[in-house]
Amino acid sequence: MELSGSNVVSFVLADGTVIIVRPSGTEPKVKVYVLAHGEDITSCRNQVEEYSSWAQRLSR
């Protein structure tokens, strides 16, 4: 994914998960994308759930 020149922050975690944070183009909010990397669909879903929960707690 090409991010250069964009108002985006990307983190690659030790487990292979990528977290992308960017401002919304039309609304006053920040969007967080979680791209999971795992051995199977279940492990990927668990990672997405874990990191999504973490991101939601940041906004409170």
Collect all residues with Cβ–Cβ distance below 8 Å to 13 and sequence separation of at least 6. Answer: 19
In this prediction the pTM is 0.72
Q: Which domain holds residue 48?
A: 9-58
Residue 2: inside a domain, yes or no? Answer: no
Number of domains in the chain: 1
Element (H, E) at 30: strand 30-35
Residue 1: inside a domain, yes or no? Answer: no
Model confidence pLDDT, tens digit, residues 2-53 = 555 568 888 999 988 899 988 887 888 888 899 998 889 999 999 999 988 8
Residue 26: inside a domain, yes or no? Answer: yes
Residue 51: inside a domain, yes or no? Answer: yes
User: For residues 54 and 39, is the Cβ–Cβ distance under 8 A?
Assistant: no
